[in-house]
Amino acid sequence: MKKLRQFFTDTLNQITLGRKWLIIPMALAVLALAYFSYLSLAFSGTRCTWGQAQHGEVTDAQSDCYACHKKVTPKIAQDWNESKHGMLLVKCYVCHGLPDGKGAVPFSAKPDAKVACQRCHAPAIERMYTKFGVREGCNSCHGFHTNSLHHDAYAKSVSKQKAE
């Protein structure tokens, strides 16, 4: 412990040798780092630290997600209901899986776009790839829930905007 402290003070002395003013920017840097790390820890950027409510206990509504989520997550439910997927009754479990974990699609709030979209849209993705190339994550251009037939309801998705 003593050696470590000696080593630390020695290095600090060597760095600031004859340049005592260096201690001020160093202190400022340490303070700034502390301030930044506190802010980023206290207000994390992720919207949802995702831990699931125990869906398995809701036995009477296992596959009818919409009935409950219309009340619990009303905006997302309405987005889906008005979207192309909602109109064609492509229900939640097609992409999100079922809470009991049975079936081919794993239960997930954030399904892997590559796998989930490929299931149905593989030919279209291939065509798009040869024409335009593919960007990471389908959602950045084609909103999963907000892909509506009538575009007045939403801001146009990036894929529908004309290049300016």
Residues near other proteins (CB under 8 A) are 35, 38-39, 42-45, 47-55, 57-58, 68, 71-75, 78, 153-155
CB of 105 to other proteins, least distance (A): 20
CB-nearer residue toward other proteins: 11 or 73: 73
Phi, psi of 54 (to 5 degrees): -80, 90
CB-nearer residue toward other proteins: 1 or 42: 42
CB-nearer residue toward other proteins: 39 or 124: 39
CB-nearer residue toward other proteins: 9 or 52: 52
Tell the residue number behind the tokens 């402290």, with chain if given: 5
Asked if residue 62 lies in contact with residue 73, where contact means CB atoms within 8 angstroms, the answer is no
CB of 43 to other proteins, least distance (A): 4
Asked if residue 96 lies in contact with residue 105, where contact means CB atoms within 8 angstroms, the answer is yes
Asked if residue 109 lies in contact with residue 52, where contact means CB atoms within 8 angstroms, the answer is yes
Q: Tell me how crowded residue 115 is: count the other CB atoms within 10 A of its CB.
A: 11
CB of 57 to other proteins, least distance (A): 7
Q: Tell me how crowded residue 135 is: count the other CB atoms within 10 A of its CB.
A: 10
Residues 6+ apart with CB under 8 A from 48: 109
CB-nearer residue toward other proteins: 22 or 158: 158
CB of 109 to other proteins, least distance (A): 10
CB of 73 to other proteins, least distance (A): 7
